[in-house]
Every structure is written in structure tokens, then in C-alpha cells.
Amino acid sequence: MIILRSVSLLAFGLCLTSCASRDIYPHFENQGEVLSRKWTYSIEPISSSLTTSSMEYVSPILHENTLVFGSSRFGLTALYPKIQRARWKLEIPNGVVSQIETQKDQAFFTGGDGNVYAVSLETGKVLWTYALRNPVASRPTVSGDDLFLVTSDDALLSLEAKTGKWQWHYRRRNTSGPGIHGASKPLVIGDAIWVGFADGALVALSKKEGKVLWEKQLNNNKRFSNLNAEFVESAGVVYIPAYDNALYALNAKTGNPVWVRDDLGGANRVTVAGNTLYAPASNGYLYAIDAKTGRDQWKFELDQGIPSNVIVTEKHVIFASSNEYLYALDRSHGKLVYRFHIGYGSGFSGGLAFDAPKNALYVMSRGGNLLSFKYQSK
């Protein structure tokens, strides 16, 4: 096992509207139109009785010729991006509170009303719901005929994907003390499910019956122990960002460490492209590191805020900040080539959606505006 250490500390506080604007690249000029803004679609209430004060953090997703996105204020919308016209809208009491999972022609997510939803992507019709005591922050995982998700009170549920029928559950004892909003997305590896919990525990369970196969504690005794980020498996290694300021690379068969970085944890999933792993860290940096060794190739400091998940193209790395900016970097050395300023006091709390065949990029702002960009690869 390789352990790489650094003296840098994790900055947990998201610098949002209360922070003064910061520009650490004051003389930067965009190097051509890597991204050109095309249109903006503003979410409108489905019902006038719904409030409009929440922050939007659900990422848009692409399904065939439509763009599907959830709102924590209004519900679920399917949009034809070519003509910016809604295909259908579905009102959800208290909005959509989890990221959206799709399989074939169905969308799965949880609402602020404490229900799990299965919705037809063709019609927007609710196929089934499953009632929970609390809203769920984790993105569901669909594997074959099964749906798995983690509740806000640290329980892993297994439901029948076609009907929403309960199959089994595994409950973790709630932890006391401070925590981070959210829950991990279950990762299916073979016949096992990997799940992270608020107490820093990584647990592998059998898919069929929820039997515990093994358990490991991934927590360096820091203030926050949550394992909320989406796990990523690539080439037999599982990459897990954690709020204890660490990024773990674990053997997918045994769960044993391959390497550990104790300076770049967070809540957003990493992306592996070739031999490089791109890690959005909660200390305000995006890291490009060697996926096999965990050693830095380059790192980029954001003006302010926390980086989103990244889109990796042949030449560029594209991502958003929780404060004000959308960035494009040169993939080979991490130099800034394009920056878009959405406006003071705003930013991006969700992820990006990229339609590679059409070179179209979509991102939802915190204020509920869906932005479309044209990507120029040259």
C-alpha cells in the first residue's frame, strides 16, 4: 500500500453567497470559444403554491433526445433541448431531493415528500412509489431486477425495480455529532454491494439477501467521517472520496488499500480517463493524478468554491464551481483555457451533462437556470 501525505487541510465550508467574490486569474482571457453559451431555460413552478427559495443541486441527465432534470422546488421535467420545449412535467411535493438514476425508459429518484419514485421517461407517468420515513439524499442504483438506495438515517434498502416491493434492508446505527447532508450511491461489484455510511464505515453486503461480507472503517478521526460521494470502479480498483480529507483507492476484490491520499477528499465523484484520475476536492482544487500510484500530475486552484464532477474530452477537462464560474482546462497540463462567469452570488451545485455526439454541455445553476453550451473541440 502506498500512503501519500500532505499538510494541506480540507476546507469543509462551502463559500456561497456570504463570501466576497475572488478572482485569482485577473488577467486571464479566454483562449477561443471552447464553450459558447447557447440558451438558458428557467424553471417555472408547476404549481403556484410551491415555494421558490431552495437551492438546486440535482444534475441534469440525457435520455435519448430529451434532457431530464429535477428541481428541489418543483419536480421533474423532461425537455427537448433542440427546441427548449418541455416534453412533460411532473409535480413532486417538496421537489426532487436525490440525483436521478435511469434504466432503459425509466427514471428512479426520491422526493422531498419521503417517497421513492419510478417514472416513465416517455410519458412522465408515475409507475410506482415506495414510502419512507425520511427523504433520501442518495442516488439509487439499479442492478438487474433490483434497486438499492441509502436513506438519510443510514439504512440500505433493496427494492424490486419493477414494482417497488421491499426485499430487505440493512440498518446502520446513527452517529452523533456533526455530519454532512447526503448519502452514498450503492456500488454493485459482482454479487456484492459496496455502501458508505455517515460513521465512515465501508460495508460490503450480498446483493441477494443483504448479508454483511466485510466491513472497514475509512475515517482518520477527523471532524466529519461521512462517505457520501459516489464510488467509482475502474480496472479492478474502487475510488472513494471521503469527508475526512482522504481519497481511497481500494482493491475491488478485497477492499484492501492500493493507495491513500489524505489531502483531497470530498463529496463529488472522481472520473477516470485513461491512466489519469480527476479528483474534485473540497479544498477548492481539481487534481489530476496517476490512477495507479496516486501521485499528482497537475492541480488547478478554483477562484473560490468547490468543484463539481468533471467532463473529460480528448483535449479538455470541463467542470463547474459552487461559486460563480464554469471552467475548461487543457487536459495535458491543467492550464486554464476558458472561464465563464455566471454572476455574483450564484454558482453550480449539481453536476454536468455532456452530449458528446452533439458537442452540447448542460449545467443547472443554483438558482434554477438550466444553461446550454456548445463545445468546440478545436
Taking residues 1-25, report their average pLDDT: 52
Better-scored residue on pLDDT, 97 or 142? 142
Tell me the CB-side half-sphere exposure of residue 216, using CA atoms within 13 A.
Answer: 15
Give the model's confidence band at 300: pLDDT under 50 very low, under 70 low, under 90 confident, else very high: very high
pLDDT at position 20: 53
pLDDT at position 248: 93
Evaluate whether 373 touches 360 at the Cβ level (below 8 Å).
Answer: yes
Contacts of 1 (CB under 8 A, 6+ apart): 256, 257, 258, 259, 260
Q: Minimal CA–CA distance to 165: which of 209, 97, 116?
A: 116
Contacts of 177 (CB under 8 A, 6+ apart): none
Q: Set out the domains of the chain in order of their start, with CATH numbers.
A: 2-375 (2.130.10.10)
pLDDT tens track for 203-245:
999 999 999 999 998 866 555 567 778 899 999 999 998 876 7
Angstrom distance (rounded) from CA 47 to CA 51: 9
pLDDT tens track for 43-93:
765 454 444 445 777 889 999 889 999 988 789 999 999 999 999 999 998
pLDDT tens track for 4-15:
544 333 333 444
